[in-house]
Amino acid sequence: MRFFIELAYNGKHFFGWQTQKKVSTVEEKLEYCLSKLLKTSINIVGASRTDKGVHAKQMFAHFDFEKEIKNNLVNRLNVFLPESIKVFNIFPVKENIHARFDAIKRTYKYYLTQEKNPFNQDFSWYCFYHPLNIKKMNIASKKLMEYKDFSSFCKKKTNKNEKENNVCKIYHADWSPEKKNVLCFTIEANRFLRSMVRSIIGTLIDVGRNKISINEFIKIIELKNSNSCKIIVPACGLFLTQILYPEDIFL
């Protein structure tokens, strides 16, 4: 049977989601704990591959297991996992459902603070650029929805045999005040490229600083060249907050 697992994690001490050699990742911890508790080797597939230091308020992954899942597995798993990872739910889905490829929308939020606070540094970026023209940043953000190829905001693939598909459909992107001295950037799309969100944010901040114009921002998009945009904001402020699936994935 195929199962979905819903979880959240603090990404500060992880080298991203995907398993890598000699470093700690969320996927590696989850696979290890599930394999121990279910007493068989478990491979999981995540809905997204968050980068080093990026957080998730909602992440989904799938795994296959041929026996019945006991009701207390979630509680046992949370005891076994590091404090920085929490599992909310484990539930069966149809056999052909894929956590990554069947997701129809993903939402990221990025928190930017303009007031230095040592107690916020793990979950927001202290942006010392003053002032920021939020109106211009929002005008530029809306331009993203007019394009599909976001090669300019994607890290180059290290595997030359891996085919590039830099086409994404962005449904929503805007800046809004979250609370005093905190700005939140929300972006929704069907998929995201590696470091795409943080690269877009860095470029939008240059718009807000009047370092580049809105037309220059548009030109960067249209160049479709990753060399044209090298500004990537820190990972600490970025959260994967929601992943949506079709309603018919459940058994």
Query: pLDDT tens, 41-61?
Result: 999 999 999 999 999 999 999
The answer to whether residue 174 is catalytic is no
Summarize the annotated binding site as residue ranges: 108
The 10 Å CB-count burial string (b at 16+, else e) for 79-113 is eebeebbebeebebbeeebebeebbeebbbbbbbb
The beta-carbon contacts of 163-166 under 8 Å, at least 24 apart in sequence, are 166/193, 166/224
**Beta-strand relationship, 85-93 and 105-113:** unpaired
Q: Are residue 11 and residue 98 in the same domain, yes or no?
A: yes
Q: Are residue 135 and residue 188 in the same domain, yes or no?
A: yes
Q: Are residue 149 and residue 219 in the same domain, yes or no?
A: yes
* pLDDT at 161 (0 to 100): 47
Active-site annotation holder among 51, 122, 206, 248 = 51
Q: Looking at residue 46, which CATH number applies to its domain?
A: 3.30.70.580
Q: Are residue 85 and residue 116 in the same domain, yes or no?
A: no
Residue 6 is given by DSSP the state: E
Summarize the annotated binding site for substrate as residue ranges: 108
Domain count, the chain: 2
What would the pLDDT profile of 54-90 be if each residue is shown by its tens digit? 999 999 999 999 988 988 999 999 999 999 999 999 9
Q: Which domain holds residue 129?
A: 105-242
Q: Which of 72, 102, 132 is the last residue of a domain?
A: 102
